[in-house]
Amino acid sequence: MNNPFESTGRVKASLNEQKYIASDEIATIVFLAQKLGKPLLTEGPAGVGKTELSKAIAGATGRELIRLQCYEGLDESKALYEWEYSKQLLYTQLLRDKLNDTLGKSESLAEAADKLAKEEDVFFSSRFLLQRPLLKAILCDQPTVLLIDEIDRADAEFEAFLLEVLSDFQVSVPELGTLTAKHRPFVVLTSNNTRELSEALKRRCLYLFIDYPSLQEELAVVRLKVPDLSPKLAQQAVEFVQKLRNTEMRKSPSISETLDWANALVALNAKSLDKQTLEDTLSVLVKHESDLQKARRQFIAPPPARGKPDEFGRFSGN
Amino acid sequence: MESRILQLIAALRASGVRVSLAESAEAFSAVDLMGIQHRDHFRLSLRTTLIKDSRDLPVFDKLFPLFFGNGQPPMMGGNPTDDMTPEEAQQLADALREFAQSLRQRMERLMNGEQLSRQELETLAQMVGLNKAEDLRHQEWMTQRMMRALAFPEVREALRELMEQLQQMGMSKERVEQIRDQIQQNMQGIEDQLRQFAGERIAENMSEQPPSESMDNLMNRPFHALADDEKKILQREVKRIAAALRTRIALRQKRAKSGHLDPKSTIRTNLKYHGVPMEIKYRDRTRKPRIVVICDVSTSMRFCSELMLSFLFALQGQISKTHAFAFIDHLEYISGDFSGSDADAAVSSVLVRMPSGHYNTDLGWSLNDFNNEYLNTLNGQTTLIVVGDGRNNYNDPRTDIFSLMARRASRTIWLNPEPPLMWHGDSDMPKYAPLCNNVLKVGNLKELASAVDELLSS
């Protein structure tokens, strides 16, 4: 099988083909993770392309991306597997005649039970096993990329369970026995750092911290993803975003927000970043009311003279 | 190379980064794979395997160049005498002769743009005591000391004189400027060399430091017998213990679902069994405690309170609401200081605001403050925790208010570093203790950790 990840240079190039601009750092670490067969733990502020990275890796290697989105209360039955009871019930209903045929000839109850026991496997076969992302990644015939998104949102309990799976890629289903992975999936975990992950989990992973990009990098991303935006405007827009990030904000704009904004500028057919355009589109970039006002004050205009109260009877402007 | 990597790992550990054995083995296999030709790849392979916390990245970025150089030797400006006419060289030699012997030698070396030899560096290190330095914050200071030992300030002064003299002797102005620039570059080069050397040496010292006293020992040491740096170590340890506790408590809270049937969700889940209730769903009983904590932050109790607060705020996810108060002679509401995630910083900001005096601890008055303003923070779901030694300097203990508070709260727990044997003198503990559900002795971190565990377990 041809492997696009045979050197860091190739990693970078093939991620680039997937429209993901990888820095040397990202390329090197992805390369290492793949070579060492270790899960890759990516951390960083929201919206810097952590999830996007795993999509790009999947695209570049031509593997299927299996995504497990974590949330509070996520448990094994939603992450690993579940028996599909309704299907089992349905099958028993439909197969009743057949069962009668099989069991009807038996003379004693014990004999019937024995016969039924022989057929037990029919009802607990992988046919009725509802595969959740983790099991899917393990059983897949092709190598896959397994994305475990926002692991910090899951409970500590789930993290411990995940450790088991990640260390040897096998799970035991009591009715079926132990299922071992045919191919080790490439595992990417992302975390927004809302809580500390356990030491044990960190120990098993390679660590990649993705921060906000530099001006050049961000400009490259914008040019690549929003080719319709004129180079000059793109430059101005990215400079503006970088300036916003330097001011103290409750939520700094991320790359994804920059891209949304760039798309908005294209849609509005903006020619330059004048006051009106900024005023109209700023809310795409800045999502908190207080941040919005701050940005307005700092970058667009001083608050207008207090005059008309707005529709809520408050004075607008600050 | 391998021993160098091990040294780096040891220095990382000495700076407080947790690196496990598995991780260091991992680092070696990563380096094997990536090779060491490409400096950046080498750095990244070490970083991605050794550092697992974004807060530790700066430590690594600081230490790495100290062990593996910053890629190039310090820039030297070159030798200004190279392209001099014989006449100019003569002028320079004449001018130099004016200076004292020792200064002249240094100036000549600077002119030649030589770096310091290993031997000379060692001598300097000896002179300024660099070999005993074990803290990277001393790097700049050590560099300055070595520069002073090399008589840099005098040399600078002499250089100016030299330039003036050369000009008087009739050397062209541009030429003099040029010489000065080159010499200054050479000085900068030597300064860089010294700085690099100081950093390397300190980092090496750090990695050779015997591993600090075992954590168990430290955890069992009474709070008042701790040195300052040991306190720092314990602060870090609190974070780790808190993480472990968090996991256990989360599990416990998860399992504590019992009692109330949740019909809605039971019907919903059992739709798939044709409505036969095979899986019973219970209503999630909120087991997260609400906590009101009152901490004595006077000198004697300060560290214990600090650790307790760090614990509570590290465990915030497992607690539904915390109100924290600090007192010495009066009470202050300090939850606002903990809005960020960094408990250490918050605690010290509180302490700055409430400097402690001598023998002015007054719990009675502080309870009165509480009674006047904050009594409504206590209700049937609240656990009231007092961290203090109950030594009131013979002020009125106001047990009337305390018993009112204890009645309002569902549970009252007192954490006291002193055992009951010592409750005499100005200690009001014998009066407070009967009003509490539980009085726990927390004289060291181990006891504090188990107290916190117990606090959140029932």
- The minimum CA-CA distance between B155 and chain A, rounded to whole Å, is 42
CA B408 to CA A264: how far, in whole Å? Answer: 57
Q: Searching chain A, which residue's CA lies closest to the CA of residue B57?
A: A209
Query: Which residues in chain B are closer than 8 Å to A202, comparing Cβ atoms?
Result: 52-53
Evaluate whether residue B385 is within a structural domain: yes
Report pLDDT for A148: 93
Contact check, Cβ <8 Å, B250/A155: yes
Centre a 10 Å sphere on the Cβ of residue B335 and count the other Cβ atoms it contains: 16
Q: Is residue A278 pLDDT above 50, yes or no?
A: yes
B267 Cβ under 8 Å from any chain A Cβ: no
Q: In what order do the strands lie in the sheet with A144-149?
A: A64-69, A144-149, A186-191, A40-43, A206-209
Q: Enumerate long-range contacts of A231-239, CB under 8 Å, 24 or more apart.
A: A232/A272, A233/A265, A233/A270, A233/A271, A233/A272, A233/A273, A234/A262, A236/A272, A236/A273, A237/A261, A237/A262, A237/A265, A237/A273, A239/A215
Number of domains in chain B: 3
Residues B51 and B178 in one domain: no
Q: Has residue B219 been placed in a domain?
A: no
Does B384 reside within a domain?
yes
Distance from CA of A93 to the nearest CA of B (A): 12
Same domain, B299 and B399: yes
Average pLDDT over residues A6-18: 86
Query: Closest Cα partner for B348 from B394, B291, B297?
Result: B297
State the DSSP code for A43: E
| pLDDT at residue B318, rounded to an integer | 66
Reported as a single tens digit per residue, the pLDDT across A79-101 is: 888 888 778 888 888 888 887 88
Tell whether A168 is within 8 A of chain B (Cβ). no
Contact across the interface for B48 and A29, Cβ inside 8 Å: yes
CB contact under 8 A, B33 and A35: yes
Q: To 10 degrees, the CA torsion angle through A9, A15, A17, A22?
A: -80
User: Which positions in chain B touch A92 (Cβ < 8 Å)?
Assistant: none
B438 and B368 share one domain: yes
Give the whole-angstrom CA distance, residue B79 versus residue B183. Answer: 8
Q: Are B234 and B118 part of one and the same domain?
A: no
> Which tokens go with A218?
């961000």
Q: Are A203 and B273 within 8 A, CB to CB?
A: no
Chain A: residue nearest B54 by CA?
A: A209
Chain A: residue whose CA lies nearest to B239: A196
User: What integer pLDDT is reported at residue A302 of this predicted model?
Assistant: 57
Check CB contact under 8 Å for B52 and A202: yes
What is the C-alpha to C-alpha distance for residues B288 and B286, in angstroms, rounded to an integer?
6
User: Does some domain include residue B188?
Assistant: yes
DSSP letter at A315? B
Structural domain containing residue B391: 230-255+288-455
- The reply to whether B161 and B304 lie within a common domain is no
Residues B44 and B127 in one domain: no
Q: Angle at Cα A287 formed by Cα A282 and Cα A293, nearest 5°?
A: 60
ipTM of the complex: 0.78
Whether chain A has a CB inside 8 Å of the CB on B243: the answer is yes
Residues B63 and B118 in one domain: no
CB within 8 Å: B52 and A207: yes
Q: Are B30 and B107 found together in one domain?
A: no
**Measured between CB atoms, which of B54, B251, B272 is closest to A86?**
B272
Pick the residue of A11, A12, A29, A153 with the most B CBs within 10 A to test the interface with B by mutation: A29
Note whether A203 contacts B22, CB cutoff 8 Å. yes
C-alpha–C-alpha distance, residues B224 and B355, integer Å:
18
Q: How is residue A127 written in tokens?
A: 């046919």
d(CA A161, CA B190): 56
Cα–Cα dist A51/A67, whole Å: 10
Identify the closest residue of chain B to A26 by CA–CA distance: B44
Are A207 and B44 a contacting pair at CB < 8 A? no
Q: List the single residue in A38, A85, A203 with the smallest CB-CB distance to B273.
A: A85
A85 with B30: Cβ contact below 8 A: no
Please give, rounded to a whole number of angstroms, the shortest distance from the CA of B109 to a CA of chain A: 42
A207 touches chain B (CB under 8 A): yes
pLDDT tens digit sequence for A185-210: 999 999 987 777 888 888 889 999 99
B26: chain A residues, CB-CB within 8 Å? 36, 38, 206
| A295-to-A113, A242, A249, A303, B374 alpha-carbon distances in Å | 75, 12, 9, 11, 38
In a domain, B119, yes or no: yes
Query: Given pLDDT bands bounded at 50, 70 and 90, which one contains residue A317?
Result: very low
The DSSP element (H or E) to which B292 belongs, if any, is strand B290-296
The residue among B29, B31, B52 with the most chain A CBs within 10 A of its CB, best to mutate, is B52
- Say yes or no to pLDDT of A136 above 60: yes
Cβ <8 Å between B251 and A157: yes
Give residue-wise pLDDT tens across range A40-76.
999 988 888 888 999 999 999 889 999 999 987 787 7
CA-CA distance, B112 to B183, in Å (whole number)?
9
Cβ–Cβ below 8 Å for B274 and A89? yes
CB contact under 8 Å between A208 and B48, yes or no, is yes
Q: How far is A194 from chain B, CA to nearest CA, in Å?
A: 10
> Do B52 and B127 sit in the same domain of this protein?
no
Distance of CA A186 to the CA centre of its chain: 14
Please work out, in degrees rounded to the nearest 5, the angle formed at the alpha carbon of residue A252 by the alpha carbons of A249 and A258.
Answer: 140
Neighbours of B286 (CB within 10 A): 11
Longest dimension (CA), chain B: 110
Q: Which of A6, A86, A207 to mutate to test the interface with B (most CBs of B within 10 A)?
A: A207
How many C-beta atoms surround the C-beta of residue A144 within 10 A? 24
A chain contacts of residue B57, beta-carbon cutoff 8 Å: 209
**Hey, are the CB atoms on B273 and A209 less than 8 Å from each other?**
no
Minimum distance, in Å, between the CA of residue A107 and any CA atom of chain B: 31
Does residue B26 sit within a domain?
A: yes
CA distance A294 to chain B (A): 21
* B191–A contact, CB cutoff 8 A: no
CATH number at residue B357: 3.40.50.410
pLDDT level of residue A146 (50, 70, 90 thresholds): very high
Q: Do residue B52 and residue B93 come from a single domain?
A: no
Residue B101 lies in a domain: yes
* Domain identity same for B106 and B63: no
**Residue B235: inside a domain:** yes
Structural tokens at position A139? 């059983």
- Residue B84 touches partner A, C-beta closer than 8 Å: no
Residue with token string 């002499």: B158
Tell if the pTM clears 0.80, that is, is over it: no
- Whether chain B has a CB inside 8 Å of the CB on A205: the answer is yes
Listed residue (A79, A56, A254, A226) closest to A153, CA to CA: A79
- Enumerate residues 17 to 46 of chain B having a beta carbon within 8 A of any beta carbon in chain A: 18, 20, 22-23, 26, 29-30, 33-34, 40-41, 44-45
- Whether pLDDT at A124 is above 70: yes
Cβ distance A173 to A179 under 8 Å?
A: yes
Whether residue B393 sits in one domain with residue B299: yes
Q: Does A85 touch chain B (CB under 8 A)?
A: yes
Which chain A residues contact residue B54 at CB under 8 A?
43-44, 193, 209
pLDDT means over runs of 10, chain B (458 residues): 83 82 88 84 90 86 82 56 67 70 72 74 78 76 81 78 79 79 81 83 76 64 72 73 70 61 82 80 68 83 78 70 82 74 66 70 86 86 86 84 89 87 84 88 83 74
